[in-house]
Structures are given as structure tokens and as C-alpha cells.
Chain A
């Protein structure tokens, strides 16, 4: 890339709306859609896996195998069917989120303390009402923890879709930068991609604080009056305070 400066501010200024702004929006759309679709699929799948235990091992293996397929391969596999529409990126990315979200929904539901479940039954909750009003809300911190991992992973993975002509900020990096041997768009693409991941993660943290005001805050840990409460909510709190997906943070490129 020769003797050019790493960042040419004048280029940034003159291309702020197009392509930078457009690519950013595209990136956002290509990552948010799979996350939401993934959640929409993972919730019933996870609930079914808890309801019918035998279902979980095959489902778990399947989502893991799908996760193991390189994203670039999946993009090319889908090209003949979806051509250059956004679905070519959205479908594989949705499938990948399942590898994090399904186990988190299952773990979240399994962490609902037995006495809470039994109390709900004894109070006269029907099965569906118990799921919606007790079990899912109590599982929420663990589900959101999974959502955070899935969101960050998806935002970073969207760029790869640029190899098949999609991919938001990836286009900035590949087409504008790499192919033209011009570093500024590459830097802009990386910085914005990372910033977007931080922003979405931060929003999810705020969302969690707002939705689950009942989870113990770490600052109050170790205080008095927590004896039995600590046992029942410790699992939820540790999962809520840091994203702890069962599969860890696997990086994909």
C-alpha cells in the first residue's frame, strides 16, 4: 500500500454517507436480522429440548455441526438458491447463532430452581402459563448472556459475506480497500465493525438491567440476608454478569 498515510481524513469526509453510512446500515441489518431470527428459532427449540429431554443431544450435535461448517462455504452453497439477496448472508448467520442460543435457552430453563418450578405448579399455573410467566422470565439472564455472545460473533462474521458480494462493512474493507490497495476504508471498516459490536453488546447489557431488575448485583454480593437466595440465584447472576456461552467465544472469520 506504498507510502500512503494509513488514514486519509479527506476520503472519510467525502465518503461519509456513501459508502460508509450505507455499508454501516447494511451491516447492521445483516447482523440484527440473524440474531433476532436465531432467537425466534432458539426459544421454541430450547423449550422443546427441555420438555423432551431426548431431543437435546441430537439438536445440540446438529447445531454444533452446522456451526463447524465454514461460513464461506455456506455462503457459496446458498448462492444458487438465494443469489445475491441478503438471505445468502442471513440464513447461515442465523444457523450459527443457534449454536450459542439453543444451549443457553436450555441451560437457562434448567437453572430455574426446582422449588420455584414446583411452587408455580402448586399455586395453580398451567404448563403454558408457567413457561411464559415463570420459567422463561427466570431463564432470561442466561438467554441474554447467550444473545450477547451471538450478537458480537454475528457482527464480526457479517464482513465475510463480502466475499459473495454482500457483507456491509466487509465490502468497505474488501472492495474499497483491499482491491484498490487503499488502507483508509480498511481501517474505517474495522473500527466501525468493532464499534458496532461494542454498541450492540452495551445495549444488550442495558436491556438486561432493565428487564431483569431482580438479579443480584455483584456489588451487593456477600452481604447479609443472602443465605438461601444466594444458592438459587447464583447461577443466574454469574451467567448474567458475563457472557458465558456453553461453547465459549468461538471466533469465526
Chain B
């Protein structure tokens, strides 16, 4: 656990970067410090490994005041990932990763072996070990940066806007990778970003800083989206926090309708009866393996020949689907909004149809999430 006790950083010119910060960063979790530029988030991060010294207050890592330790030794026990990776251009990928082991005096072979283990862990091809940083893509460089920070297996990992210099697609894959790594490693991660979406994706706790170096709110992301402490936090989170919050609720609790799903060889006459019986304007047609083929509208059924199998009718594309087991309510809502039939198709992980859900039914589920709020429900999972 990392504890900030009344920490202030005031520069000689009178500028206050961090103002009376009290914050507990739980061990084994990811805490994201987020805020606009100049809010003191990076300064706070750098005070943990003494790259910046606080003017007043105390920072402890696992109960030990950081000022009781030699800065260089303290830093070797804390992983650090910097923006733009900060790789040493004159060292190969393997030697970059082995930086801290070398500083700790490991013998060469052990450090190299460790470097290769880490390359595998962060998803880097072993062939890259002898390359130099300039021969890597931005994403690969950032992976090397993460591997280097993890080399001596430090319990604490500081990450200073590590993914801000890569394009959005690469950024998303790096974020996924970090989530996967963290599930495996359970490090105490302190992550600085100015991107609230990144914070919501990665953080177990989010600490929002306001300009002037004051902590505005620290909470779990789902809480932060539900109850921003004040106008500043609400404004910083952005206007669609209600929709974004749906990411924290699983789609598996939706009630999917299986009766509106028909096989391709079903004759129109049968389908007509189903549509009339359930008052369904749209039916989903599936193939023999129960994979979606497309929508057929009740209107089309009334005019089509009664004996024609549904598969021979002109079907409307089924659009996006969501995976019932893994996806969130947000993904389900997205699928429904994008669907030409106004209905989302829920599938299993191998792509067979579980059932469909209409926008109106989703609305009920979302409304019940809002209701749960009032009863202070615990958030569940965070994907999507």
C-alpha cells in the first residue's frame, strides 16, 4: 500500500503542484491518477520514487517512509514506465529490459534469461531481442518499456502516461495487455493519464485531480460515473457517463427472447403465427448451427407465400452481435442501436444465437441498474 499523508509540493517560484494530498493506494490494484494538465498527477507519481521531493507531508510505501531510503535503491525496487517509453537507444531490446537486473548486479546470463521471459510475458517476439529501439514500432517500444519496468519483479509499478504517444488501435491493445498482465501479476500499479476513458478501463480506483493540485474525488470507476463529487468531476468525465457506466454491468443478466428465433427451414405460415402470437415485428432467422442469418419483418411475412421457407426470403442483415457471457450492457445497447431491427442479437462465445433483446427491453434493464444504485449495489466486472 502507498500512502500520501498531507503531501504538498510547492516550487521555489511559489507554484503549487500538489496541494495537501491524502490518498491511500491499495496494494495489488490499479489506481489511476487522472486530470487535466497541470493538475499535479505526474508530480504526485514522481514523489513516490523520489524523482520529486515533497515540500511537506509524508509518503510511505508499505509503511516505510520513502525518504528513509536511498533514492537510487528505492527506484530499483519500483518499476517505472514513462511516456514515449524512454528506451535507451544504444542498448538492444534485451539489454534495455535487463537494465534494473544489471544495476542490481545480477550476472549477465541470469539478466538475459529474465529479459527473454519478460519479452514473452508482454507479447514480444523473441527475434526482437537483439534489435535496437529505433527498429521497433511505437507499440513494441511501449511493450519493451513495460517489460523493463517489470524486470526485477518490483511490487510497485508507476506508469506515467505510458500509452499516450501511440495511435488509438495500438493503445487499446496495450490497455488489454495491461489488464491481462495485472490479472496475472497483481502489482500495485499507479497509472497517470489525462484520458478519462483510459482511467475507466484500467482503474480499480480512479483519483481525479483538479487544477491547482487538489484531489477532487477518489472512487471506483463505476461509483465515479454514477456519483461525481462535484461539477468539475462531472464535467471532466464527460456528458455520456450514463451510457459509459453500463460497461460495468454484465449483459448476461438480460432476459433474452428465444421464441423470436426461427430456423431457416421454417415455413412462412408458422413464422406468421409466431409473430402474431408474440406481437413481434421482427423475427431472427438462424441456420442449422443456430448462427444468425438475418431479420425478417412481420410485414414481409404477411405478403410472402405461406409455404416458402424463411431462408428463401430476402433477409435484413443482423448487424453487430454481443456475447452474452462476456459483454456488458453497453455492448448490448450498442448492438441494439446499430441493428436495423432495433434488436440486439445475443450469442454464445462460439457464435450460436442465445436470443434477441429489443431496445425497449434493454431500457428496463438499464433502468433497474439505476435502481440498484439507490440500493448501493456493488459493481460487477468491467469489460467492454
Residues of A within 8 A of B (CB): 113, 115-116, 118-126, 129, 134, 137-138, 140, 212-216, 224-230, 232-233, 236
Contacts and interface: CB of A to CB of B under 8 A. Distances in A.
Given A138-B89, A224-B137, A232-B89, A214 B132 contact: yes
Interface stretch (B78-86, B223-231, B334-342): B78-86
19 contacts: A115-B84, A118-B82, A119-B86, A119-B87, A120-B88, A122-B75, A122-B86, A123-B76, A124-B71, A124-B74, A124-B100, A214-B90, A214-B132, A214-B134, A215-B89, A225-B137, A228-B84, A229-B136, A233-B134
B84 A230 contact: no
A138 B134 CA distance: 13
A228 B138 contact: yes
Q: Is the interface of A mostly helix, strand, loop or mixed?
A: helix
B82 A216 contact: no
A215 B135 CA distance: 10
Contacts of A129: 103
Interface residues of B, number: 37
B73 interface: yes
Given A123-B103, A124-B72, A229-B134, A116 B141 contact: no
A150 B133 CA distance: 30
B165 interface: yes
B51 A118 contact: yes
Contacts of A138: 88-90
Contacts of A236: 89
B89 A116 contact: yes
A47 B141 CA distance: 29
Nearest to A126: B72
Contacts of B112: none
B82 A115 contact: yes
Contacts of A225: 135-137, 140
A123 B99 CA distance: 8
Contacts of B73: 124
Nearest to B46: A122
A137 B90 contact: yes
A246 B75 CA distance: 37
A138 B74 CA distance: 25
B67 interface: no
B49 interface: yes
B13 to A, nearest CB: 17
A227 to B, nearest CB: 5
Given A224-B137, A229-B136, A122 B49 contact: yes
A121 B88 CA distance: 12
Contact of B88 (A119, A126, A216, A230): A119
B72 A233 contact: no
B83 A115 contact: yes
A229 B138 CA distance: 7
A116 B135 contact: no
A138 B88 CA distance: 8
Contact of A229 (B71, B86, B141, B166): B141
Nearest to B75: A124
B72 A229 contact: no
A129 B88 CA distance: 14
A161 to B, nearest CB: 38
Nearest to A228: B138
Contact of A115 (B72, B74, B85, B90): B85
Contacts of A213: 132
Interface in B207-261: none
B94 to A, nearest CB: 13
Given A123-B103, A229-B135, A214 B89 contact: yes
A227 B138 contact: yes
A73 B23 CA distance: 69
A192 B89 CA distance: 39
Contacts of A227: 137-138
Contacts of B145: 119
Contact of B76 (A115, A124, A224, A229): A124
A218 to B, nearest CB: 12
Contact of A121 (B75, B83, B84, B140): B75
Given A122-B51, A124-B72, A226-B134, A214 B85 contact: no
A230 B137 CA distance: 10
Contacts of B84: 113, 115, 228, 232
Contacts of B74: 124
A113 B242 CA distance: 42
B91 interface: yes
Contacts of B133: 214, 229
Contact of B141 (A126, A140, A212, A228): A228
Contacts of A134: 88, 90
A140 B83 CA distance: 24
A116 B99 CA distance: 13
